[in-house]
Structure 1
Amino acid sequence: SGIGDLGGGGLAVGAVEMADRAGCGLVIWLDELHLREPNMAPWEIWVSESQERMIIAVPPENVEKVLEIIGSEELEASVVGEFTGDKLLKIYYEGSQVAEMEIEFLTHPPKFIGKVVWNPPKHPEPDFPEPKDLGEELLKLLSSPNIASKECVIRTYDHEVQGNTCVKPLQGDYGGPNDATILKPLDDSWMGVVISAGLKPRYSLIDPYWMAASSIEEAIRNNVAVGGRRISILDNFTWGSPEKPDRLGALYRAVKACYDFAKAFQTPFISGKDSLYNESPLGPILPTLLITGIGIIPDVRKAVTLDLKDPGDPIYLLGKTRSELGGSEYLRLKGWIGNEVPRVYPEESRKVFELVTESIDKGYVAACHDLSEGGLGVALAEMTLSSDLGTEIWLEKVLRENVSREDHLLFSESNGRMLIEVRSTFEEEFLNLAGRLGAPCSKIGHVTRSSRLVVYGVGGEALIDLRSSELRKAWREALKL
Structure 2
Amino acid sequence: EWKKPRHKEPDFKEPESCLNDLKNLLGSLNICSKEYIVRPYDHEVKGATVVKPFTGIKNDGPSDASVIAPKIGSYQGLAVGHGICPRYSDIDAYHMSACAFDEMVRNIVATGAKVPDKNNPVMWSVNDNFCCPDSIYDENNNPSGKLKFAKIVRANKALYDYSTLYKIPLTSGKDSMKNDFTYTDENGKKIKISIPLTILYSGVCKIKDIRKCVTIDAKSPGDLVYILGRTKKELGASEYFHQKGFVGNNVPKVDGKTALNLYKAIGNAMDKNLIESCHDCSDGGLGVSLAETAFSGGYGVYVDLSKIPKDNVYRSDYLLFSESQSRFITTVRPENKEKFEETLRGNVFGMIGIIQKDPVFTIKKLDGKTEQINIQKLKTAWQKPLRFDLPLEKVR
1:239 paired with 2:157, answer: no
Identify the match of residue 425 of structure 1 among 335, 345, 349: 335
How far does residue 351 in structure 1 lie from its aligned partner after superposition? 1.7
Displacement of 1:288 after TM fit? 0.7
Cα deviation for residue 283 of structure 1 reads 2.9
- Give 3-state SS (helix, strand or coil) of 2:324's partner: coil
Query: What corresponds to 2:353 in structure 1?
Result: 445
* Alignment match of 1:161 (pick from 13, 36, 45): 45
Q: CA deviation at 1:174?
A: 5.0
Aligned residue in 1 for 2:393: none
2:176 to 241, 256, 275: 275
Alignment partners' CA distance in 2, 1:351 and 1:454 = 31
Q: Distance in 2 between matches of 1:430 and 1:409?
A: 24
Q: State which of 331, 350, 365 in structure 2 corresponds to 1:457.
A: 365
Which of 174, 178, 188 pairs up with 2:73? 188
**2:2 match:** 118
CA RMSD of aligned residues (A): 1.0
1:202 match: 87
The structural deviation recorded for 1:232 is 2.9
In 2: Cα distance, 1:246 partner to 1:431 partner: 47
Residue in 2 aligned with 1:475? Answer: 382
**Structure 1 residues 252-290: Cα deviation after superposition (integer angstroms, max 9, x where no partner):** 000000001111111111111111122222232211100
In 1: Cα distance, 2:41 partner to 2:318 partner: 36
In 2, the alpha carbon distance for the partners of 1:125 and 1:290 equals 28
Which position in structure 1 is the counterpart of 2:260? Answer: 350
Q: Corresponding residue for 2:155?
A: 254
Percent of paired sites with the same residue:
40
Alpha-carbon contact 2:315-2:366 (below 8 Å) kept: no
Give the CA deviation at 1:452: 1.2
Residues 316 and 441, structure 1, Cα contact 8 Å, conserved in 2: yes
Deviates more, 1:157-166 or 1:330-339: 157-166
Report which stretch shifted further, 273-282 or 299-308. Answer: 273-282
Secondary structure of the residue aligned to 1:211 is: helix
Deviation sequence 1:35-61 (CA, Å, 0-9, x none): xxxxxxxxxxxxxxxxxxxxxxxxxxx
1:134 to 11, 18, 29: 18
Compute the displacement of 1:161 (Å).
2.5
2:35 to 130, 138, 151: 151
SS of residue matched to 2:82: strand
Q: Residue type matched to 2:237 in 1?
A: G
Q: Is the 8 A contact 2:60 2:296 kept in 1?
A: yes
* Matched letter for residue 134 of structure 2: S
CA contact (8 A) 2:266 2:344 kept: no
The letter of the residue matching 1:478 is P
When the two structures are superposed, what TM-score results if normalisation uses the length of structure 1?
Answer: 0.74
Give 2:256's aligned amino acid.
Answer: P
Measured in 1, the distance between the counterparts of 2:344 and 2:291 equals 25
- Name the SS for the 1:159 alignment partner: coil
Q: Is the 8 A contact 1:242 1:248 kept in 2?
A: yes
Deviation at 1:356? 1.1
Aligned residues: 362
In 2, Cα distance between the equivalents of 1:454 and 1:352? 27
Is 1:382–2:292 an aligned residue pair? yes
Q: Is 1:174–1:385's contact at 8 Å kept on the other side of the alignment? A: no
Whole-Å separation in 1 of the counterparts to 2:298 and 2:130: 40
> 2:60 aligned with 1:175, yes or no?
yes
**Which residue of structure 2 lines up, in the alignment, with residue 466 of structure 1?**
373
Q: Deviations over 1:407-458 (max 9, x none)?
A: 10000000010011012221111111111xx111110011111111111012
Match of 1:217 among 84, 93, 102: 102
Deviations 1:142-197 (A, max 9, x none): 11111110011011211112221110111131511010000000113100100000
State the one-letter code of the partner of 2:208: P
Structure 1 runs not aligned, ≥5 long: 1-116
Contact 1:323 1:412 in 2 (8 A): yes
- Structure 2: runs of 5 or more not aligned: 115-121, 137-144, 183-191, 389-396
Preserved CA contact (<8 Å) 2:131 2:179: yes
Q: How does 1:323-334 map to 2 (within 5 A)?
A: 323-334=233-244
- Once the two structures are superposed, residues 110-168 of structure 1 have per-residue CA deviations (whole angstroms, 9 ceiling, x without a partner) of xxxxxxx1111111111111111111111000111111100110112111122211101
C-alpha displacement of 1:333: 0.6
Does the 8 Å CA contact 2:301/2:354 hold for their aligned counterparts? yes
